[in-house]
Structure 1
Amino acid sequence: MGRTRTNSSSAEDLLIELDHTGAPLHRQIEAAIRTGVQSGRLRRGASLPPTRTLAAALGVSRGVVVEAYQQLVAEGYLTSRSGGYTQVAAESAPVPAGPRTERASTFTVDFGYGRTDVSTFPRAAWLRSVRTVLTTTPDERFAYLDGNGVPELREALADYLNRVRGTVAAAGNLVICNGYGQGIGLLIQVLAARGARRLAVEDPSPNDDARPLARTAGLELVGIPVGRDGILVEDLDTADADAVVLTPSHQWPTGGGLSADARARVIGWARRHDAYVIEDDYDAEYRYDRPAVGAIQGLAPDRVVYCGTASKTLAPGLRLGWLLVPPGLVDAVAAAKLLADRGSSVIDQLTFADFLNRGEFDRHLRRMRPVYRRRRDVLLAALRRHLPDLEPVGVAAGQHVVAWLPPYLDEAEVVAAAAAHGVRLHGVGQYRLGHGGRGGLIFGYATLSERAITEGVALLAASLRPLRG
């Protein structure tokens, strides 16, 4: 029985081009194969075409190919095996690695924020929706579409948001984007093109999306202080801003919820100043000790841009987000999206639409709320036991908790001491635009086991003993 060969290369794979007026033909063949091995394109163990096959493909005599193969065998690039075929014998030289921008985590416990537990992604349910899409979707749906996104997803999202988040949504006012990061970038781009000069943001607030994008677009940033229940609305009137970015249902990072009176005053400000409210509804689906708080968009659909994403509920790797845009802005935002990337993945959009319509999204959220609630409860219990002088806030919803430090502990020193004991934490201070403010720690708990949460808090407590004097 003949020996089965695998990982073989055809004559075409060798990418040999011969110049019959140049160097000897066997030298040209040698050089082409040698380069293929050195570059890693022809890997160790790959079988080369028989000499007769390669000679016929190149239009040369078999003796020319035999001479080339023999030279490369002598150099150690090839080896001849019993049975008359030839294989690559040499390893390609390793390509020098570029500078690393990230290091593997050396922390025992990482309380990183802004994450969701992707190990719980509902793969089986998602796969059912993928199969449905691939077997039932008309061919024309896989062509280029407009900048709004596929109608099926926009209709499914409008129904979901109106039912669950209390929005006033129409499918025609939705724009599908690649997560919140792209969505806020499109909005800032459109507002800047329409003459916006200043963007107000909560202080503290995330420093990795709206803030750098606004600066890149040439907008001036104005920080509005945050109180116990969210943004201090009275400071908006003196901000002279063209738009404000808010997290009214669960302020990031402090966790406050904007009151009904404050929401009404925000809308009043937007109408008086012909401004827009950009509502980042990043984690409203996860709530534990309070009833659902509707989106502020439902109060003023003509003044509020609602931003949603699947990053916190399903997985950030899906890159699925959506903007519910006022009628006066929707065409411009859709045009900006189309110009940016010709639209998000049609298959992913249709899959998510089917996933929503089947009720799988609701079922996934019902499964995950008690999981995250237990992790939050374990975190709060560990803080009460080991660090009773810390003050947790914003605990009723979300996937993180902020704990204010007592006055005698310095935030930067605490973060450094925790790191030295193998615990990664972020301080609130790095997300402030202004100086000062109470020191606090951000505990992300969504990706940690209950045991890891308890261990992390105990390690943190141990790290603080020297700082307490």
Structure 2
Amino acid sequence: MSTVNSTLAHDLLVELDRTGATPLHRQIEAVLRDGIRTGRLRHGASLPSSRRLATEIGVSRGVVVEAYNQLLAEGYLTSTPGSYTRVAAVHGQAAAATPPPRSAGPYIDFGYGRIDPASFPREAWLRSLRRVLTSAPHNRLNYLDGYGLPELRTAVADYLNRVRGTSADPSQVLITSGYGQAAALIIGVLAGRGARRMRPVYRRRRDVLLARLAESLPGFEPTGVAAGLHLVVWLPDGMGENDVVAAAADHGVRVAGVGPYRLAGPGRQGLILGYGDLSEGRIADGVEALAAAVRSLGTASFERSSR
């Protein structure tokens, strides 16, 4: 069972009538009891601590404790020392559904448009975030000038002046919230160093992919080599991309065909191979598996791919 408190206080929908004759703890009991009976509060759901719920609904902690104790006595709740108070199993109510296990997915995924997330500088990012949050004035967490956070605008200007040789002033910098405009700014200012560091890594992965294709599938014709994180390989005449995609999946390799991305009409058959988040070893294994998939389509197909 999860050790995480899965129910927020406001999710309990406790509304109190402070002018009526019914005691507050009885009102809390009634709301929770009805929620459990109707299934809104499912078996196993954890409730907020008495202190937290009391603070949110504006009553003393003793009022909530009395309500919880009554529901414990009636069998609607369970509690163990050092753990959360949870909804007990009630006759006629099914336990909360367990989500189905996630598929393990393909053994090797040549999906395109991805970078290598393992290379993200998590520790440096967290250190910077912690340092800024610790020292930032409280008003910096509120809405500020529409041009953006002054410290960020100053940092951007300083970076441009230092690295790009500009003469930018913070007053000339605008921090945007739109993805299209902000992407170029973020990539150029914050991720430039990381992009330069990863460029040779991706180049080596591309070179391994090209070398393995030439060795195992010489009939495949690579193109778009300079794209950065993926390339397109044209298939030999007479070989269908849908057949190759399906056979590759049977061999634990995910590849995409170019067909869905054509603007008009049929065209040459091909595959899109992404390599941004695959190690050099995984790339080599993937090409070998892809070659095995082509072989499984029949001798004629493999001979065409080997020409």
**Normalised by the size of structure 1, how large is the TM-score?**
0.46
- Distance change (3 Å), C-alpha of 1:442 and 1:149: farther
The unaligned stretches of length 5 or more in structure 1 are 1-6, 184-305, 314-321, 323-352
* 1:67-82 matched pairs, under 5 angstroms: 69=70, 73-74=73-74, 76-78=75-77
Match of 1:107 in 2: 106
Distance 1:22 1:398 in 2: 72
Match of 2:116 in 1: 117
SS class of match (1:389): coil
Distance 1:435 1:403 in 2: 19
CA contact (8 A) 1:179 1:309 kept: no
% identical equivalent positions: 49
* 1:201-220 matched pairs, under 5 angstroms: none
- Distance change (3 Å), C-alpha of 1:430 and 1:169: farther
Match of 2:184 in 1: 308
CA contact (8 A) 1:46 1:88 kept: no
- Distance change (3 Å), C-alpha of 1:430 and 1:162: farther
SS class of match (2:231): strand
Distance 1:369 1:111 in 2: 18
Match of 1:380 in 2: 210
Match of 2:281 in 1: 451
Match of 1:422 in 2: 252
SS class of match (2:184): strand
SS class of match (1:176): coil
Report deviation, 1:147.
5.0
| 1:56-80, Cα deviation, whole Å (9 max, x unpaired) | 648xxx8xx69x82x7534x22458
* 1:272-351 matched pairs, under 5 angstroms: 308=184
Distance 2:18 2:131 in 1: 53
SS class of match (2:106): coil
Distance 1:157 1:26 in 2: 56
CA contact (8 A) 1:114 1:444 kept: yes
- Of 184, 188, 198, the residue aligned with 1:368 is 198
Match of 1:440 in 2: 270
- Distance change (3 Å), C-alpha of 1:80 and 1:117: closer
Match of 2:55 in 1: none
SS class of match (1:396): helix
- Distance change (3 Å), C-alpha of 1:110 and 1:134: same
Report deviation, 1:106.
2.3
| Greater share of residues in strand | 1
- Give the letter for the 1:90 counterpart: A
SS class of match (1:408): coil
Report deviation, 1:402.
1.5
| Greater share of residues in helix | 2
Distance 2:253 2:119 in 1: 24
SS class of match (2:206): helix
Report deviation, 1:384.
0.9
Q: Which moved more, 1:30-39 or 1:149-158?
A: 149-158
**Normalised by the size of structure 2, how large is the TM-score?**
0.66
- Give the letter for the 2:88 counterpart: A
| 1:256-311, Cα deviation, whole Å (9 max, x unpaired) | xxxxxxxxxxxxxxxxxxxxxxxxxxxxxxxxxxxxxxxxxxxxxxxxxx96265x
| 1:3-28, Cα deviation, whole Å (9 max, x unpaired) | xxxx8x9x999947358867898865
- Distance change (3 Å), C-alpha of 1:178 and 1:126: farther
CA contact (8 A) 1:112 1:443 kept: yes
- Distance change (3 Å), C-alpha of 1:424 and 1:159: farther
| 1:199-242, Cα deviation, whole Å (9 max, x unpaired) | xxxxxxxxxxxxxxxxxxxxxxxxxxxxxxxxxxxxxxxxxxxx
The unaligned stretches of length 5 or more in structure 2 are 52-58, 302-307
Distance 2:155 2:134 in 1: 19
1:396 aligns with 2:226: yes
Count of matched residue positions in the alignment of Structure 1 and Structure 2: 274
Distance 1:55 1:397 in 2: 62
* 1:137-152 matched pairs, under 5 angstroms: 137=136, 141-145=140-144, 148-150=147-149
SS class of match (2:143): coil
Match of 2:31 in 1: 32
- Of 294, 300, 303, the residue aligned with 1:464 is 294
